[in-house]
Chains A and B, each alone.
Chain A
Amino acid sequence: MTPIQGVFLITAAAILWSAYMVVTRDNLIHSALYLIITLFGVAVLFVLLEAGFLAVVQVLVYIGAIAILMIFAVMLTRGDVDKLEQVSIANSGFVAMISILFFSTLILLMGQWPAFSSTAPELEAGRDTVVELGTALVSPKGYVIPFEVASVLLLAALIGALYVARPQGKGK
């Protein structure tokens, strides 16, 4: 057991435990907070995978924006206090079973794949993945089009969200 593996295991445990908490807490604010822990754990994973930039982006975007947004949404849709009790629907047992089945089938399937247990190849030293990522995102020979389309998507989402959530009665 190398230290890296230990870190990984601890992180994995944290992720899975807090994920479980996310989906089982009745109190949605607690759910959101557990979500933040999960997201943080994923950021650590990104670091372990030597995608440092992605880790930072994860923290910024997911935790900094999305999770906060979730909290706001929870606050805005409080509704009746007594509705907070039951947050799981009736057939959750069946769904749990489906999930477990899904998980096991997936693992089984993946186990068949020869490269399942491959190890990470060595990265050359001095390689700057951030620069590479940046270049790839704006280079015509790279992924500038998905990048631009993603920005259009964000624009559309922006306008759409504004429109959908506008106050009723008055126009756009």
Chain B
Amino acid sequence: MIPLSWYLVLSAALFSIGFYGVLSRKNSVAILMGLELMLNAVNVNIVAFWRFLAPENIAGQAFAVIVFAVAAAEVAVGLALVISIYRRQKTVAADEIDLMKW
């Protein structure tokens, strides 16, 4: 059968790729896509742990459901912000939106 380690490695890899995407992409929407990858990796992790370590306790899945909700909300607000910034600055390049500094 599939050992836990395969799932964990997969989610770690997915998370790292998402991490890379967040930190290196210029377009803000692309950053948010990277963020989605990270969230999905986390979800996989949670469900894998649920399945392998405490399948009788449905808490794992409930947790994953909540994560879905949170991810959805976050994407909605984040994209709204990106659009708002685009309207103001006419750009969504992350390195050009550098107002939060000295």
Q: Interface residues, chain A, CB within 8 Å of chain B?
A: 2, 4-5, 8, 12, 15-16, 19-20, 22-23, 28, 31-32, 35, 38-39, 42, 45-46, 48-51, 53-54, 57-58, 61-62, 65-66, 69-70, 72-74, 76-77, 79, 83, 86-89, 91-92, 95-96, 98-100, 102-103, 106-107, 110, 115-121, 123, 129, 132-133, 136-137, 142-143, 146-147, 150-151, 153-154, 156-158, 160-162, 164-165, 168
Contacts and interface: CB of A to CB of B under 8 A. Distances in A.
Contact of A73 (B5, B82, B94): B82
A149 B5 CA distance: 33
Contact of A54 (B59, B65, B92): B65
B52 to A, nearest CB: 5
B2 interface: yes
A6 B28 CA distance: 36
B83 A88 contact: no
Contact of B25 (A87, A116, A143): A87
Contacts of B51: 49-51, 120
B69 A150 contact: yes
Contacts of A77: 27-29, 82-83, 86, 92
Contacts of A28: 27, 29-30
A28 B79 CA distance: 14
19 contacts: A4-B2, A16-B13, A22-B34, A28-B27, A48-B2, A49-B51, A51-B61, A70-B36, A77-B28, A79-B92, A88-B26, A95-B23, A99-B23, A103-B16, A106-B16, A110-B8, A129-B58, A161-B76, A164-B84
Given A19-B18, A35-B37, A154-B72, A5 B2 contact: yes
Given A110-B12, A120-B1, A23 B75 contact: no
A133 B82 CA distance: 35
A86 B93 CA distance: 10
Given A79-B90, A100-B16, A115 B47 contact: no
A150 B21 contact: no
Contacts of A39: 36, 40
A104 B31 CA distance: 23
Closest 3 A-B residue pairs measured CB to CB?
A: A23-B21, A157-B73, A161-B80
A14 to B, nearest CB: 11
Contact of A57 (B15, B25, B68, B81): B68
A39 B81 CA distance: 23
